Structure 1
Amino acid sequence: MKIGVSGASGKLGSATIAALQGLASGHGIVGVSRTPEALPSTVEARFGDYDQPDSLASAYAGLDRLLIIPTTDMRPGQRTIQHLAAVDAAVAAGVGHVSLMSSAGTRRAEEPDIWGCYFPAEQRLMRTAGAWSILRMNFYAEAFVQEVRSALDRGAIAGIGDGRVGYVSRDDLARAAAGLLTGDGHDGAIYTGTGPESLSGTERAAIAGAVAGRPLRYVELTEEAFRSTMAQAGLPPPIVAVVVSIRTRFAMGGFDIVTGDIERLSGRRPRSLRDVLSDAFSETDKNSE
């Protein structure tokens, strides 16, 4: 069986390739990327660019199973175009089972809403693929680590409301994706990969402060105030729009989701946000010695 990962040279793609190499004994692993030269020599590397749909047709040819990982492209409307192109190419190439990495809480929305680019792709996949699965991911714990590091000097993390989030680590998500790609009985399934608990802004700031050994509080802002803060920090308008959409979805409870799907697919319990933070700051301490 040939198993493909599209978006293979990104952080999640690389982690999924590594997880597959530990599981997919006897199967061929194909990495599809705009930069195939960056992939390990132990996988079959193919060029495929979401912005060049013709390249995807040959990249997906002969695959029995495929995982489509979205890009981080912030150009307005571009991710929807990319997702649809990838799904259409996989169906046209006759991929036996197509899996899509999507977002927790996905529903119909207009871009730049974070869900705006995922809903059309999910719908296209369900309507056109012969066999399909969807793995919706909660928000990356590693993204919160970066947020904490940038906030420590200020002593505060800002957000819209005090929305709870079930942060999931990238490696846990990658292992779940590998389990999905190598397992059976997933046709038509929609999974949501989350961490073991959902934490409010106040709770996660307290945990981060304790782990970092620095005082850190959580400040609730209105959407308008949060948008202004992002703009004043010099972020480009498209990025501000996406970040604001994410935080408004936090506030409405769109990421207040905890499931057992990570363990169900990977056979391992997901790490807590505290564990991810502890590992990150322990590594920082080692590097500073």
Structure 2
Amino acid sequence: MDTNNSPQRVLVTGGTGMTGRRVTRLLTERGVDHRVASRSGHQESGTPPFDWGSPDTWDAVLDGSDAVYLCYHPDLALPGAAETVTAFATRATEHGVRRMALLSGRGEPEAQRAEEQVRAVFPGLTVLRCSFFAQNFSEHFFVPAVLSGTLALPVADVPEPFVDLDDVAEVATLALTEDGHAGEVYEMTGPRALTFTEVGKVLGAAAGHPVEYRRVSVEEFVAASAAQGIPEEVAQGLAALFGEVLDGRNTATTGGVERALGRPARSFEEYVADAAKTDARGR
């Protein structure tokens, strides 16, 4: 489904989230017309409200779009996600979408089932299959743990090659705007794997206080997540996901970032240094 034409408009689902807002920024820098899909709509891009759970909101955001970034919330590995994104991809095909990039996860059977189902209706799909995001420690569910000084997780201290979201967004943007990426599966990791104990040391050095890893039960993790305002069903889903994929199966690094971008993936240490600088300047 690649063509020699630049996209007329890119639809960014999850456009206000961690990856989506990075993709949106890169599209803006490239001067590419785009829509940011969100539940409340997005006035700047003239986008009506969009909800994964309400198919009657899909056609309005797809109208006039010929490239789509698929980022399912809360996670592609959760029950029902594969069916929902496949139905959306089918609708996108009916609207004449020519390029599509799907954010997916390494070692997640349900996410990989979603990849297969979406590819069945959109053969030119580009899959962005990622390890855990480095930015989870500064922008998402690990933030309270870093601030408290304790990474309390329901998993063993296994190595994980955390990937920098800026790398992921750059690959996504290329797939949505340039030829040569249709049908590709980019499995993306950082350049080396770190245990949570090692991660804590890197974060602690930047934060100026110790950050220690501690293994807890699923019940303890869910209770702590609830105290942070995370719905119980989401916390249970995260705990199940952590237990499934943080078991050593994803420890090996890959060359997906370099294959797509022609440069090495950014390291966890580089990410932490940049995050520290950002915090020092103020967000």
How far is the alpha carbon of 1:134 from its aligned partner?
A: 0.9
Structure 1 segment 65-76 matched on structure 2, within 5 A: 65-72=67-74
- Partner Cα distance (1:282, 1:147) in 2: 20
Q: 2:218 aligns with which of 227, 237, 242?
A: 227
Partner of 1:51: 53
Amino acid at match of 2:96: G
Partner of 2:84: 82
Give the TM-score of the pair, scaled to structure 2.
0.81
The more displaced of 120-129 and 152-161 is 152-161
Partner of 2:114: 121
Same amino acid, percent of matched pairs? 25
* Superposition CA RMSD, Å: 2.9
Amino acid at match of 1:164: P
Q: Assess, with a 3 A threshold, how the Cα gap between structure 1 residues 226 and 36 changes in structure 2: closer, same or farther.
A: same
Q: 2:248 aligns with which of 253, 262, 271?
A: 253
Partner of 1:274: 269
1:210 and 2:205 equivalent? yes
- Partner Cα distance (2:18, 2:280) in 1: 23
Structure 1 segment 18-29 matched on structure 2, within 5 A: 18-23=25-30, 25=31, 27-29=32-34
- Partner Cα distance (1:193, 1:100) in 2: 13
Contact 1:193 / 1:259 at 8 angstroms: preserved in 2? yes
- Partner Cα distance (1:154, 1:46) in 2: 39
1:135 and 2:142 equivalent? no
How far is the alpha carbon of 1:280 from its aligned partner?
A: 2.5
Partner of 1:37: 42
Q: 2:151 aligns with which of 144, 151, 157?
A: 157
Amino acid at match of 1:126: R
Contact 1:96 / 1:130 at 8 angstroms: preserved in 2? no
Partner secondary structure for residue 37 of structure 1: coil
How far is the alpha carbon of 1:191 from its aligned partner?
A: 0.8
User: Unmatched 5+ residue regions in structure 2?
Assistant: 1-6
How far is the alpha carbon of 1:129 from its aligned partner?
A: 1.4
User: Unmatched 5+ residue regions in structure 1?
Assistant: 108-115
Partner secondary structure for residue 249 of structure 1: helix
Give deviations 1:177-211, integer Å, cap 9, x for gaps.
Answer: 10111222222211122222211122112212222
- Partner Cα distance (2:241, 2:14) in 1: 22
Contact 1:50 / 1:85 at 8 angstroms: preserved in 2? no
Give the TM-score of the pair, scaled to structure 1.
0.79
Partner of 2:11: 4
